[in-house]
Structure 1
Amino acid sequence: MKVLTLNCHSWQEDEQLAKIHYLAKTIQENDYDVIALQEVSQSIAAQNVSGNIKEDNFVRLLQAELEKLGAVKYDVVWDFAHIGYDVYEEGLAILTKHSIKKSDSFFISDSTDTTYWKTRKIVGVTVSYYNQPVTFYSCHLGWWNDEEEPFQNQVDCLLHRAENNELAFLMGDFNNNARLQNEGYDYLMQKGLYDTYQLAERKDEGTTVQGKIAGWDENKQNLRIDLILSNQPVQVTSSKVIFNGINREVISDHFGVEVQINM
């Protein structure tokens, strides 16, 4: 099973449509089973086309590009968490080529006010993978030292919602550097989660953010904040950073992570 996570930084990128096409082409070529995306935005002012999805929704345009390329059909689940940059509904998405048995979206922040930029929501799907139910969550969490929206509370809420006996993967931007001890990453590990990067038989250096980006304005380090975690030990063949200028072109202020799991 091949999975990908990427914080898209959507509609904040130069040549955004070209980058959507490049992402679609990569998805087609790599034939991912499941893709988790964060910062998947649409304009507040855009016209609704289906449910809560509007005409310039990033993942809608990505899905259209995949169809143009003749890729295998990917079903999409999207929901928005909060207003971003005053003009966007910023959300999360999951794409999968497997049969979706159920989908979910839920708040993990204390705030449920979608006009507040620290409001956090999770999108999840359960798919049938060779008759085995597997759940995936697209995650975009807050910061360890945020007094208004503590990271620990968000993790506790997420894991409480995700409690079941099924295999589950938590994928996305956790806004906590895995290389920093006694903070958010260690808290995740203490909760009994497994980091596919650490489990991988083959892996690279792991950096997913270089220098300062939104939310990390003072950063001068190489960070590993985009993670693919599981609630059970799994056999991970490889973990690679993608869209970092080495493995594919850069298309966001975050690099992506692709992981191959032997199911």
Structure 2
Amino acid sequence: MLKILTLNLHTYQEIDIGQEKNLIEFFEKYENIQEKIVQFIMDENIDIAVFQEAAQHRDMDIIEEKFGIKIKRKNYIKVLHELLLKKNKFYEYVWDFSHYGWNIWEEGLGILTKYPIVNFESKYISKTKDKFSIYSRKILKTTLLINNKLVDIYTVHLNWVRNGFENEYKKLINWINKSSNSRLIIAGDFNINAGTKDYEKFISMNVKGEKLTDVFYETNRYKIDEPTIRKDKFNDGGRIDYILVSKHFRAIDSRIVFKDNDKYGRVSDHMGLWAKLEIIE
């Protein structure tokens, strides 16, 4: 079995940085939220966790490089990695950033995984590559060795329909068709509401000659539009986060997590999406 989590982390926005005395106090306070995510990963024995709006502050010191990418102190994925290490849980991690948020946050994508990382790539799929535009979007491709088989994990945070979703998704498919093996998972924030015409359009597209399975829909046929983002002045709510899998995986179970009233509670403006998959050889 393979257990997966996807979660949009909200770029360190769950606490108002302007209300804290300094960055150190801000990050110390934020660790309470990050501990909830770590506890979930441990309780559920998550194998792969992918994240969007995973940020690092531009003014923090560089502490290491991963695949040539500079990782700064309090990088969100690095913090999760370190908190897990303190609990004797080792996960590999990678991260890259797409654009600046609020001119101070290097906002991007990341992954934590129990499995060896064989290869890592990231590339822009949006029309713009301007790091100071929120419409600049990257994809992470992480190749893992799982049960002696190579599996490609694509971590995505795509634009809204009006800002280029369709072209971005087509670029992703082209990338997959050219370079991926048939064992693949696409997970993340698609910014497309489930059950809409735009959803039906992208979910029906062939990838490597097959239609991918929407894991949540496959296991929750009567909850197709259960929201994964909270309704607020910026969002209407809806299910916009997905885990899509190729024919080499069977959807066993899936649920929305980090709800206001569950064991872990809110950690972001998004809820998380959890899935259990059976690997089909």
TM over 0.5: yes
TM-score (normalizing by structure 2): 0.85
1:2-24 CA distance string (max 9 Å, x none): 00000011310125210111111
User: What residue number does 2:51 align with?
Assistant: 37
| Counterpart check, 1:111 vs 2:143 | no
What count of residue pairs does the alignment treat as equivalent? Answer: 252
* Larger fraction in helix: 2
| Counterpart check, 1:161 vs 2:175 | yes
CA contact (8 A) 1:202 1:239 kept: no
- Report the secondary structure of 2:265's partner residue: coil
- 2: CA distance between counterparts of 1:129 and 1:167? 10
- 2: CA distance between counterparts of 1:90 and 1:197? 27
- Report the secondary structure of 1:145's partner residue: helix
- 1: CA distance between counterparts of 2:270 and 2:133? 22
- 1: CA distance between counterparts of 2:45 and 2:157? 24
| Counterpart check, 1:211 vs 2:231 | yes
- 2: CA distance between counterparts of 1:246 and 1:261? 25
- 2: CA distance between counterparts of 1:68 and 1:213? 38
Identity among equivalent pairs (%):
30
- 1:14-163 aligned at under 5 Å gives the runs 14=15, 15-51=29-65, 52-71=70-89, 73-146=90-163, 150-163=164-177
- Report the secondary structure of 1:197's partner residue: helix
CA contact (8 A) 1:133 1:166 kept: no
| Counterpart check, 1:257 vs 2:280 | no
- Please list every run of 5 or more consecutive structure 2 residues that lacks an aligned counterpart in the other structure: 16-28, 207-211
| 1:199 alignment partner, one of 218, 221, 225 | 218
- Please list every run of 5 or more consecutive structure 1 residues that lacks an aligned counterpart in the other structure: none
User: What residue number does 1:3 align with?
Assistant: 4
* Residues 187 and 233 of structure 1: CA distance in aligned 2, closer, same or farther (over 3 Å): farther
- 2: CA distance between counterparts of 1:213 and 1:102? 40
Q: CA RMSD in A?
A: 1.8
What letter is aligned with 2:242? L
1:17-36 CA distance string (max 9 Å, x none): 10111111111121111100
* Residues 213 and 41 of structure 1: CA distance in aligned 2, closer, same or farther (over 3 Å): farther
